[in-house]
Amino acid sequence: MPDLFSDLANNRESLGPGTWLFRGYALDVGDQLLEAIGRIAEVSPFRRMKTPGGREMSAAMTGCGARSWVTDRRGYRYSELDPETGRHWPAMPALFSRLAADVADRAGYPGFGPDVCLVNRYQPGARMGLHQDRDEQDYRWPVVSVSLGLPATFLWGGLRRGGSPARLVLEHGDVLVWGGEDRLRYHGIAPVPDGRCKVTGHVRYNLTFRRAL
């Protein structure tokens, strides 16, 4: 377990110099977030993308906002068009951008205006290997992550590959904000164990909000 320093007055726990965990922060809007994910997926369906190495990712993805993250044989990048539909990604719901900006502000990153919300869907057994988020232009902006549905073990490594990452269980409604010195930390998700969530069934969703440009 990483060292958790609790800032009780602000309902947040510190995971590192630039990282705050807000347990249950999105609980009261959980149903609204899930409904919005359903509407996004009607326009830009969930799909399992291929890495540049040709392997299918185990998490399915979609996105909303001015651009979203894609991967294929040509590499990783942000794209204004959904390659699956050839059309723009659905607009980012106001609830999403407000939530991301509010929580970033509470974590000490004022003025955060995300242009990307990547939506990851994990069915039991799906995982995300250790990686850095480094396809964005300006690492001064933080990344905001909202967990919904089944719990999953978050893997939190260092600034370089190697070593065994710290582990932390993320649950429905938990929100993480990381930036500053922690912005380029390696991180991932351990294979999601099966379970039943009252609201999502056998599924975990994660929203990640970023400023790509």
Report the interface residues with Fe ion, using CB under 5 A: 133
- The CA distance from 78 to 44, in Å, is 15
With CB cut-offs between 5 and 8 Å by kind, which of ligand MD3, Fe ion, none does residue 136 bind? none
When the beta carbons of 101 and 186 are compared against ligand MD3, the nearer one is 186
- E-assigned strand segments in 66-212: 68-72, 75-79, 116-122, 128-131, 143-149, 152-156, 166-170, 175-178, 187-189, 204-210
Stretch near ligand MD3 under the rule CB under 6 A, chosen from 22-30, 43-51, 91-99, 174-182: 174-182
Please, which of residues 15-54 interact with ligand MD3 by CB under 6 A?
A: 19
Q: Is 178 in the site for ligand MD3 (CB under 6 A)?
A: yes
Tokens describing residue 104: 């970033």
- The CA distance from 28 to 139, in Å, is 30
The closest residue (CB) to Fe ion is: 133
The closest residue (CB) to ligand MD3 is: 206
Stretch near ligand MD3 under the rule CB under 6 A, chosen from 31-39, 50-58, 94-102, 178-186: 178-186
* 113: number of Cβ within 10 Å: 11
- The CA distance from 168 to 98, in Å, is 26
**Binding-site ranges for ligand MD3 (CB under 6 A):** 19, 118, 120, 128, 133, 145, 156, 176, 178, 182, 185, 187, 189, 206, 208
